Amino acid sequence: MGVLGKPLQTLGRAVGPGTLILVLVAGTSACTSTNTPTAAPGTVATLPRTSLGTQIQFALDLVDGKVTPAAYPVHFAPPFLAQVTASQIGAVVDQLMPSAPWSLTHYLSGPTASAAQLSLTNRVGSVAMMTIQIDQGSGLITELLIQPVPAGGPASPSTALAAKASAVTSELATGQFDTVRSGFDPTMTAQLSEQQLSSAWAQVAGSLGAYEKTGDPISKPVLDGYATYFVPVTFSHGSLEVQISFDGSGQIAGLYLRPAGYDAQF
């Protein structure tokens, strides 16, 4: 991400208590095509007869435990599998299978030619949001993100959290990774080390030149139960957005590096 053709990085996940945990994200580009119409939120879901529809069905079969690792290279793009191992995929599938089958209920955004966000429910009525993106050339999955949707409605954005999002972004840009981690929730702390955070930042921002400035945070209602901000960051040779999700206690429950303008799709 950052520059088209760079891998899209997921640094963390938002996880609600007692809900499913799954984040699988990698990619060759975070650019979403708009060559096909976007369905209105709440539209009853039918799979498009396209490469994207094929991969949505694969993703549903995956979380239902119907897919073997031998099928991964046929559906996931090589950059994805370079970042997410078969054992990691298997571990999250093991978490989701007990609640199978998972069903597609409606589109939250899309489907476009290459991407969609969908609402899923399982056999016990739990709800999750799936984000999927494919490479239009190969038709292979470059991004797959499944997030829990906790009960209780969205967390409220606030001036304090907006300021915190800006501060965290500045800390990332100036290499204060230990300080950033001090604001993580327990799940993030356990799953993302300082070294991993530093390496991911270097991979994405390293080619963008010298850090110049952090822009005003943009609040978007991405996931119920979390206050999410997109913070633009400008470098001498490019820009990106840092997506930060805070839980109800103000801890960082999700941290993502996104291409500039990524917030516009929400």
Backbone torsions φ then ψ of 248, nearest 5 degrees: -65, -20
> Which residues are CB-contacts of 158 (< 8 A; sequence separation ≥ 6)?
227
Tokens representing residue 221 in the block? 């209602």
Query: 18-148 and 159-265 share one CATH topology?
Result: yes
Provide the residue type at 55 as one letter.
Answer: Q
Contact predicate 135/142, CB 8 Å:
yes
Please, what is the end-to-end C-alpha distance for the chain in angstroms? 18
What pLDDT score does 8 carry?
Answer: 31
What pLDDT score does 54 carry?
Answer: 95
User: How would you write the pLDDT of the chain (266 residues) with one tens digit per residue?
Assistant: 222 122 233 444 333 322 333 344 443 333 333 333 344 444 446 888 999 999 999 999 998 999 999 999 999 999 888 877 888 788 778 877 888 888 888 887 788 888 888 888 888 777 778 888 899 899 999 888 877 665 444 455 688 899 999 999 999 999 999 999 999 888 788 778 898 889 889 888 888 999 999 999 999 877 767 888 999 999 999 999 999 988 877 888 888 888 888 888 76
pTM higher than 0.75: no
Architecture (CATH level 2) of domain 159-265: Roll (3.10)
The domain limits of the chain are 18-148, 159-265
Tokens representing residue 100 in the block? 């199978």
CA pair distance 252, 165, nearest whole angstrom? 9
Provide the residue type at 28 as one letter.
Answer: T
Closest C-alpha among 232, 251, 233, 224 to residue 161: 251
What pLDDT score does 155 carry?
Answer: 53
Other CB atoms within 10 A of residue 39 CB = 20
Architecture (CATH level 2) of domain 18-148: Roll (3.10)
> Which residues are CB-contacts of 264 (< 8 A; sequence separation ≥ 6)?
none
> Which residues are CB-contacts of 110 (< 8 A; sequence separation ≥ 6)?
32, 38, 39, 116, 117
What pLDDT score does 154 carry?
Answer: 47
